[in-house]
Structure 1
Amino acid sequence: MEIAAWALIVGSLLVLMALSGSSLKHLPLSTAMLYLPVGLAIGPFWLELARVHPIADARLLEHLTEFVVVVSLFSVGLKLSVELDDRRWLLPLRLAMGSMVITVGLITLVGLAIGLPLGAAVLLGAILAPTDPVLASDVQVSDPEDRSRLRVALTGEGGLNDGTAFPFVMLGLGLLGLHPLGEWGVRWWAVDVVWAVCGGLAIGAALGTLMGRLVLYLRTRHSQAVGYDDFLALGLIGLSYGAALAATTYGFLAVFAAGVALRRVQRQETDAHRKSHDAPAPAPAPDAEAVVEQALTTPDPPVDADHIATQPAHAPAFLAHAMQGSTERVERIGEVAAVVLLGAMLWAVDWALVTWWFVPLLFLVIRPLAVAIGLAGSPVPGTQRRLIAWFGVRGIGSLYYLGYAMNHGLDPALANTLVALTLTTVVASIVAHGISVTPLMERYESMRGRGQKSDRGTPE
């Protein structure tokens, strides 16, 4: 009966994934809000099909969420086709560095106020400060040509700060005696901050650029390396992440940089082809699914997707579209697994350790204050500032950092407290942001459409 129950649950989730995309598009409901009760149901609260404990099963928590975040960060990087010298990058940089550091500091103060030692308070700040790239897809850029300042800011922040939070995780562990910081923190600053951040970005950018140019060269010059774009995407993710970890740098930043670099190669190759042929506009970027549909439905003349993939005018865009589509599908499956796992762990939370006023303080005071300080002096309208302040989604990345800390020797008593605070915060974020994202973003887009200054495709 247990196998039958699991088959029914998994099958229902897969069907739900396929149907929910369009069905929930205009409802105040996110897919994560549907997956969470499934996790609750399979745990000891009801069906007792799984008994997952966040501390006893910390390795499962860390490695599952690690995989989901890594794939999501690469996908986020591919979405951002904004040129590196575009001023829109200033907003995600200010959010991922300035606002996130402020958030870590403010959460640390709260942690000290509720009785945590300094190291655990810093660790709590590092776990909950970064916004999530996985559960925030509804507020990210919708396509490569999307230049919305709001969406670029939130997308770039989610891509960057899951890596820039890592130095503070190491600092918190170091203050607890679980990681070497060096005398006066010199080692932490030199290795965990400067080298790990810069090295991770450099490794990812180099591999993304090399992979993109190699594949396009083989396709356009020799009609080789065609197909299996999902393998290419996962292979590049693995290479970037593995190389970064081997070099003692941050793999999260490496895979994000690899995605950004691959998209940059696509734009450069497309522009170069256009200029060499004196075309008045960039060559069209066919969607992979549209090409396949045309191949199946147009008998005369037949269209071969592999042929399109090797044409210099279309190959760069085809490669980027195919790799993004592949990673987004894997990301969605990973999101289901991670959110169901979260629901299945809630039975083990010690609710007596939950500080109930912490979540509203984080969402309504700490995040808005950090955003206000981080974006001080920037030309961001009030409506966009308020939306950026509200959509500080906490999710799978926070679960990963929690698992990482527990697997590096965190004291069980401190682990119980951090588990209680982290899981309640992530669940509250799933519900609060899941309910509000559709009406708020529809209202924002409607306001833009009614005549407010558009921020799509214009320098700001």
Structure 2
Amino acid sequence: MTFAIWSLVIGVLLIAMVLSGTLLKRLPLSTAMLYLAAGLLLGPLGWAALTPRPLEDAALLERAAEVAVLISLFSVGLKLGLPLSNRHWLLPLRLAFVSMTVTVGLIALAAAWGLGLPPGAAILLGAILAPTDPVLASSVQVESSGDRDRLRFSLTGEGGFNDGAAFPFVMLGLGLLGVHDLGTWGWRWLVLDVLWATAAGLLIGGLLGLLIGRLVVFLRARHQESVGLDEFLALGLIGLAYGTAVLCHGYGFLAVLAAGIALQRVKESSGRAHDPAEAGPTPTDGPADGPANDRCLARSGDATHPDHASAYMMQAVRGFNEQMERIAELAIVLVVGAMLPLAAPPAGTVAFLALLFLVIRPASVWLGLLGAPVSADQRVMIAWFGIRGIGSVYYLMFAINHGLPRAFVEPIVAITLAAVTASIIVHGISVRPMMRQYWRRKVAQD
């Protein structure tokens, strides 16, 4: 397919998403479902214009999925605006570490018993499928930095933290398959892959997010410098946090998430706290002339005002990052749709996926949230919305690029793509009706 035709196809798809955006909000459909269908049409079953190969193109697919996850993790960090002392934080942490560990173990048992995978491959599959996805879960994420709803905050934080917390299990699976050094009795895995890499990622990302954010706000509020190019600030901080963490053998995913959370803290620590809406309208508000000039002047003043500079910065960075997140979602889900015909799921995959969604996820959530202050309604919703997506695609390609034996490539690829596709469909259909019902009951109770 020529570049001109590709340009036409992508242009039509993007404009169709804009024109149908309001309609989709009224229907049990998600944009990811439409991207998936478009990928099928562009793939081998349709025009055969997009034919990604999981084995041959693993390096490119890993980088593309990695960029998508990094952008989404930074966006998640910016949304988690509750004070760190708030007890709401315990919920996503328990889901991301306790529930995810249980999920990996249960998936590994199911894969070994039902699919015949050896322990290393079974644990690796568990690590690939255990993380919930922050990219495809936008409909159940917090709506503002001050959102205190336990359901939304828990799912948003879980999707951010467990994308990094899954890495130790990926390395454990690869180690048991003989392609990663675990050390004698697993000491190297425990010390470096679990303790050091996790702590280093969180610490490095948190420090960089706090330092860069305070520096930018200081220069703007005190010296009227470093104004504008907030898009570069978002991309620069993502790259800085990720690169520094990886060079220090820390987890870059956790570093980027921590950088976003720390940048969000700058809003609270520079003068009195303001909602981002107080920083004035976004750059797309209003016509290009006339009254818009006054708006531009007001926005420029907000950018350097001591009480508004941090809120203005957060508004601009979040707006840009959310647009980048949508573009990344489009690209990766298109590829997933195109790869589907290339994978033949092994026997028992349907039963395995039903077990994952209906038994393993609810059981792990129940164990992870024992004694937690969540209602039965919220517990059921959290258990259902364990959305699998782009994070699983990344870990799959990471494993292939890091020596996953060829004998296990085909079944693990097929199961992962089937799980992601099933999640996009069943969660995409159910998310809006269930969330509307949840809010109606919440309002009635309040």
Give the TM-score taking structure 2 as reference length: 0.96
Q: State the match for 1:456 in structure 2.
A: none
- Where in structure 2 are the equivalents of 1:319-334 lying within 5 Å? 319-334=313-328
C-alpha distance in 1 between matches for 2:278 and 2:36: 37
Q: Does 2:370 correspond to 1:376?
A: yes
Give the corresponding residue for 2:162: 161
| Residue of structure 2 equivalent to 1:314 | 308
CA distance in 1, matches of 2:292, 2:401: 57
> Residues 385-404 of structure 1 correspond to what in structure 2 (within 5 A)?
385-404=379-398
Q: Structure 1: how far apart are the matches of 2:79 and 2:287?
A: 24
Q: Is residue 298 from structure 1 mapped to residue 291 from structure 2 by the alignment?
A: yes
Unaligned runs of 5+ in 2: none
1:429 and 2:423 matched: yes
Q: Is 1:286 aligned with 2:279?
A: yes
Identify the residue that residue 62 of structure 2 maps to in structure 1. Answer: 62
State the match for 2:92 in structure 1: 92
Structure 1 residue ranges without an equivalent (≥5):
275-280, 454-460
Query: Post-superposition shift, 1:313?
Result: 1.7
Which residue of the partner structure matches residue 352 of structure 2?
358
For 1:317-338, what per-residue CA distance to the aligned partner results, in whole angstroms no more than 9, with x for missing partners?
1101110111111110010000
Give the C-alpha shift of residue 146 in structure 1: 1.3
Aligned amino acid, residue 44 of structure 2? P
CA drift of 1:290 comes to 6.7
Contact 2:179/2:403 (<8 A) preserved:
yes
CA contact (8 A) 1:20 1:31 kept: no
- Per the TM alignment, residue 21 of structure 1 is displaced from its structure 2 partner at its CA by 3.4
Cα distance between partner residues in 1 of 2:223 and 2:72: 32
Once the two structures are superposed, the pairs formed by residues 114-133 of structure 1 within 5 Å of their partners are: 114-133=115-134
After TM superposition, the structure 1 stretch with the greater mean CA deviation from structure 2, 1-10 or 20-29, is 1-10
Q: Write out per-residue CA displacement over residues 255-283 of structure 1, whole angstroms, 9 at most, x where no aligned residue.
A: 00000000011112142xx7xxxxxx879
Retained in 2: the 8 A contact 1:36–1:342? yes
Equivalence for 1:209 = 210
Letter in 2 for 1:368: P
Confirm or deny that 1:338 pairs with 2:332. yes
Change (3 A) 1:62 1:288: farther
Q: Does 1:414 align with 2:415?
A: no
Tell me: CA distance 1:13–1:179, structure 2 relative to 1, closer, same or farther (3 Å): same
Question: Is residue 275–residue 311 contact of structure 2 (8 Å, CA) maintained in 1?
Answer: no
Distance in 1 of aligned mates of 2:422 and 2:292: 52
Q: CA deviation at 1:226?
A: 0.7
CA RMSD of aligned residues (A): 1.8
- Secondary structure, counterpart of 2:282 in structure 1: helix
Runs of 4+ in 1 over 6 A off after TM superposition: 281-284
Cα pair 1:43 1:51 within 8 Å, conserved? yes
**Post-superposition CA distance 1:166-222 (Å, at most 9, x none):** 000000000011111111111100000000001000000000000100000110011
Deviations 1:111-139 (A, max 9, x none): 11121111000000000001000000110
Letter in 2 for 1:153: S
**TM-superposition CA deviations, 1:217-249 (whole Å, max 9, x none):** 110011111111011100000000000100001
Distance 1:298 1:55, change over 3 A: same
What amino acid maps onto 2:408 in structure 1? L
Question: Residues 429-459 of structure 1: CA distance to partner in whole angstroms, max 9, x if unpaired?
Answer: 0000000000000111111122x14xxxxxx
Aligned-pair distance for 1:85?
A: 0.7
Matched, 1:180 2:173: no
Q: Is the 8 A contact 1:406 1:415 kept in 2?
A: yes
CA shift, 1:3, in A, is 3.6
Query: What is the CA-CA distance between 1:24 and the residue it aligns to?
Result: 1.4
2:216 and 2:226 in contact (8 A); partners too: yes
Q: Measure how far apart 1:342 and its partner are.
A: 0.4
**Counterpart position of 1:5:** 5
CA contact (8 A) 2:96 2:158 kept: yes
- Alpha-carbon distance in structure 2 between the residues aligned to 1:65 and 1:449: 38
Give the CA deviation at 1:306. 2.1
Distance 2:268 2:290 in 1: 29
**Residue number in structure 2 paired with 1:140:** 141
Most deviating of 45-54 and 387-396: 45-54
**Contact (CA 8 Å) 1:120, 1:414: kept in 2 or not?**
yes
Structure 2 CA distance, aligned partners of 1:162 and 1:104? 13
TM-score by length of 1: 0.93
Tell me the residue number matched to 2:361.
367
